[in-house]
Structure 1
């Protein structure tokens, strides 16, 4: 079994007739769109929508091919060239795209008269909202064109620097992905030295990366102001199809629950012999005898297929397919980006998953997480082309629900000694999506505000991050051993068109935890409702999607109930480890 993904079903190469034909079709579709006389009639609207469908489908397919190539080789010149050419084509047509969106967002024609268009009712509602914040066609064109050498370029710089920076550990050359994976080592000395090496590796890249994050956030602030938004978070909430009431309820419930997580962290610190809170390098320290188990790729596949088959056959079948058909790129290597992600390819009815697999249970859970994204893609792939986009908060629901399935199954099958390792592993992940995500939310909020007034050098960004960690982790972390460079290693901060990609993880984690509790209480009929909810994510607001499961996310009550489930795990962990 090869452990590098196959992309030939997208295209054989950039020189292939299929790639060249799709690029020309995309170019011609833009040209046809530009020639249409925009009158508010049903035939014109249908013609515009059909061309928009072609443009959306082909631009996504072409960019996916390049971005997937670059994720495993950030210096791949043909992909950089092709992506630049595609980006140039898109930016050159930004003016007509803005004009079309403005036209569709302001139509008065009753689209319910047409069977095809009537399926786009939510799409048209969103366009109406977007149109209210659009600038003139000329300004939209300038923004899109300038972004190629602004936000997009700064994002590429961050990816390049963090994927190519090298360090030395035990006389071996290591990448950031290599060294960060050692945070999960069962050797305390390795964890501490890896942490120190990681911080040292940032020294040569921290200032240029600081320039990247400053300019990306400044650009986002400027565009928010020009479009008439009060703040950057308002753009994100609109794009998330989420109300401020829901965000406030979520963050308020998390803040209320922080003492329980600090109790867990301090208890873990005491188990590891620390007296002043947990050092950052021991956040992921394994505890318990099963924590050191290593999986081969094939063992991870069989493990996940078996567990998922008990929830839903289509999830198990999807898992088997992704492993067996080389839809996953497994192992770290120089030039490959860190972390993990899943990219849905609905035009192929497939997905691709990138991993940096090290064989630990934690990595198997990460694979389950990414398979959740693929499962989400499975249940929206039959939507019309312009109805396939889901937003950030619900993007993490299926992924974290999968984590719940795997961890709860493993815990249920274990004895008390094994439970210690499994519950603690689960709490590691939970602490990341609740406490660390809260710190990232605080950091990014402060960064956006301060960037309005000044440039922040690395030392300023480090201070912001340490302050955010203090507010989130409190006395759960050793105040002398935090991580001042978490702003540097997390790629989410560097997306020029997307900010605050932090609270969606908390939303997804808590939402899925609450849903899993519902599943355990009443499994009959749950899977069908769950699949219906996933399908609704692309054509509903966050609040409407939650109602499919009978849940109100605009109040703290639901979130507090989900957080209480995590507190039960904390109590169980402390009780089990206090008995040992």
Structure 2
């Protein structure tokens, strides 16, 4: 109970549907070999047809395998099929590169064909990305070697962090279980859990250090071969985001760091600390924060609150509970954290959680349901238009959090309850702004160092600590930081998603700006918001924002979004100073 069902993807690995889809990849190879690459509308449509069908098949297969592994990292059958799928995809890489090159180099005016015209933005992107494509043979080689290189190192990090256990108060605890205790009401439990967490990381730090070094080395090498100036430039291009927008975002964040430090120092003083807040008390609850929820109570609460914003969001939320689209509780072998996997080819999504009944978990569910809601807005597009970029990926999720937080504040029956809600909000926003900034600084330095040296675990820990000092400043106690946060965050361990940190800050602040718009002018907002989410897959970040009349390339937008946070800091300090 409270585990997700994957039967809508496949009933099992032995099912006829799974085996047929897996076998069809061999047929795709034959079909791609016979394609005509004449520069005509007919040839282009034939290539697009193959790409669409292949894309759907691969996403369905990979989703079933990856979702199975996310809740059971030791599943040997899933691991085996992951390797089988990877080998089959390697054999298709050079044909896919040839199709991509063909689309990127075509001179045909696709606007004259109604079906192809839907892919105008896709063709524009393909033309730009063609500049960074290597030869078909080299692309195939990179893909093939990646299975035993970057992907293997990533799998090692996931396996070690999901399997590691340590004794805590007489019981074996996983990493996810220990991290959940960071929100415990008992101060001694929080500190002890943090110390156990650090000890647990100490068991795996050396192996994970090798994972991180080799992944970043591969990214640097391939990025340079393709002609990118840096992995950051590659990330920005793939994110459909300009350097000007990133610079504006980071400038605003740097300007507002003192505000966050003021909040942290005040929280520290309230808790009895003189030199800033210890890392293990970042999530210490304050006020009347003893409210807990059962799974069913979260359903009732979220459906009610979302129905007041958008009926289709509330209906979707109820469906996720009723049809077992969410996996709630932590268990051995299950990865930590939470995520949502959009499955537009079956017009569904799946959400993985590590639920403990806390208020923070309610916000996490709301966050992941936002990703799912985003998925409902893009699934009407053609298959090759299903992917949105990293920065806008966090828009609907953090907007959902804003909805819930606003209701919690309105419903607070006492100052203690209000303190609890505001402090929960400040915890979250500090993570997506300050901690994310520290992760950005960390990854930047790791990439720079990896150009010339290998970083063992102690050096990586030092880089992490320095990044935290620069971001948190005197808001945290420098004698009690988190040297192993680089082990915990899986976002570092991908050859295809470098710098998956600033998108959280972008999404959090962008959605904050949107929510302020909603509060000021609610009439017609939901319809326009839906249009914005739909646009995310077929426009740049900047053009997507223009749907709402916003210019995200200017620092003033981000200052405005951050200024609302300062109001909450002031209110929190006032309420807790009495």
C-alpha distance in 2 between matches for 1:136 and 1:508? 36
TM-superposition CA deviations, 1:236-272 (whole Å, max 9, x none) = 0011000000000000100000000000000000010
Contact residue 225 and residue 231 of structure 1 kept, 8 A: yes
* Map of 1:516 onto structure 2: 515
Q: Secondary structure at the match of 1:174?
A: strand
Which secondary structure state, in structure 2, belongs to the residue aligned with residue 342 of structure 1? strand
Structure-2 residue corresponding to 1:393: 391
Distance across 2 between alignment mates of 1:201 and 1:396: 30
- Quote the residue 1:547 is aligned against: 546
Output the CA distance in 1 between the equivalents of 2:362 and 2:2: 15
Query: C-alpha separation between the residues in 1 aligned to 2:12 and 2:524?
Result: 45
Partner of 1:449: 448
- CA displacement 1:191-213 (0-9 Å, x = unmatched): 00000010011111000000000
Distance (Å, rounded) in 1 between the aligned partners of 2:246 and 2:459:
27
Question: Is residue 2:149 matched to residue 1:150?
Answer: yes
- Structure 1 counterpart SS, 2:341: strand
1:164 and 2:171 are equivalent in the alignment: no
Confirm whether residue 208 of structure 1 aligns to residue 190 of structure 2: no
Tell me the equivalent position of 1:271: 270
Q: C-alpha separation between the residues in 1 aligned to 2:441 and 2:77? A: 39
Divergent runs of 4+, >4 A: none
Spell out, residue by residue over 1:389-416, the C-alpha distance to the aligned partner (whole angstroms, 9 max, x if none). Answer: 0000000000000000001111012132
The equivalent residue for 1:285 is 284
C-alpha distance in structure 1 between counterparts of 2:263 and 2:532, whole Å: 33
Partner residue of 1:238? 237
1:37 CA drift (Å): 2.4
Equivalent residues in 2 for 1:28-427, closer than 5 Å = 28-289=27-288, 291-414=289-412, 415-427=414-426
Query: Hey, what's the Cα distance between the residues in 1 that align with 2:146 and 2:23?
Result: 23
Answer yes or no: is the 8 Å Cα contact 1:365–1:403 preserved in 2: yes
Q: In structure 1, what is the equivalent of residue 527 of structure 2?
A: 528
Aligned-residue offset at 1:27: 2.6
Give the CA deviation at 1:495.
1.2
- Classify the secondary structure of the residue corresponding to 1:352: strand
Partners of 2:14 and 2:429 lie apart in 1 by: 46
Counterparts of 2:145 and 2:436 in 1: how far apart (Å)?
31
State the 1:127 CA deviation: 0.5
Give 3-state SS (helix, strand or coil) of 2:132's partner. coil
Stretches of structure 1 lacking an aligned partner (at least 5 in a row): none
- Deviation for aligned residue 1:444: 0.3
* 1:254 and 1:434 in contact (8 A); partners too: yes
CA RMSD of aligned residues (A): 0.7
Q: What residue number does 1:563 align with?
A: 562
Counterpart residue number, 2:10: 11
Q: What's the offset of the Cα at 1:465? A: 0.3
2: CA distance between counterparts of 1:281 and 1:31?
56
How big is each residue's C-alpha offset from its partner over 1:100-150, in whole Å with a ceiling of 9 and x where there is no partner?
Answer: 101100000111121111100000001011100001111111100000000
Distance (whole Å) between structure 2 residues aligned to residue 21 and residue 229 of structure 1: 39
Partner SS state of residue 241, structure 1: coil
Q: Deviations over 1:343-370 (max 9, x none)?
A: 0111111110000000000000000000
Deviations 1:6-38 (A, max 9, x none): 001100111111111212233312320122121
Give the C-alpha shift of residue 78 in structure 1: 1.1
Q: Distance in 1 between matches of 2:290 and 2:238?
A: 41
- Counterpart of 2:79 in 1: which secondary structure? helix
Cα distance in 2 for residues equivalent to 1:472 and 1:495: 24
Deviations 1:467-511 (A, max 9, x none): 000000000000100000000000000012110000000000000
Once residues 257 and 214 of structure 2 are traced to their aligned partners in structure 1, the CA distance between those partners, rounded to angstroms, is 33
Contact map agreement 1:29 1:54 (CA 8 A) in 2: no
Q: How many residues align?
A: 577
The CA distance in 1 between the partners of 2:415 and 2:441, in whole Å, is 37
Unaligned runs of 5+ in 2: none
1:26/1:54 contact within 8 Å kept: no
Shift of 1:461: 0.3
Contact 1:94 1:144 in 2 (8 A): yes
Instruction: Kindly provide the CA deviation profile for residues 438-489 of structure 1, in whole angstroms up to 9, marking residues without a partner as x.
Output: 0000000000000001000000100100000000000000010000000000
Distance in 2 (CA, whole Å) between partners of 1:490 and 1:514 is 27
Cα contact 1:441–1:503 (8 A) shared by 2: yes
Rounded Cα–Cα distance in structure 1 between residues aligned with 2:415 and 2:275: 28
- Conserved 8 A contact 1:30-1:55: no
1:132 match: secondary structure? helix
Q: Could you state the TM-score of these two structures normalised by the residue count of structure 1?
A: 0.99
CA distance in 2, matches of 1:292, 1:59: 45
Pairwise CA distance, 1:302: 0.5
- Equivalent-residue separation in structure 2 for 1:222 and 1:492 (angstroms): 19
* Matches of 2:541 and 2:74, distance apart in 1: 38
Where does residue 463 of structure 1 map in the other structure?
A: 462
Post-superposition CA distance 1:31-63 (Å, at most 9, x none) = 201221211111110000000000100000000
How many Å separate the matches in 1 of 2:547 and 2:392? 13
Alpha-carbon distance in 2 for matches of 1:138, 1:18: 32
Q: List per-residue Cα deviations over 1:498-549 (Å, max 9, x = no partner).
A: 1000000000000000100010000000000000000000000000000001
Q: Please tell me whether the aligned partners of residues 183 and 282 of structure 1 are also in contact (alpha carbons under 8 angstroms).
A: yes
Deviation sequence 1:161-189 (CA, Å, 0-9, x none): 00001101001000000111100000000
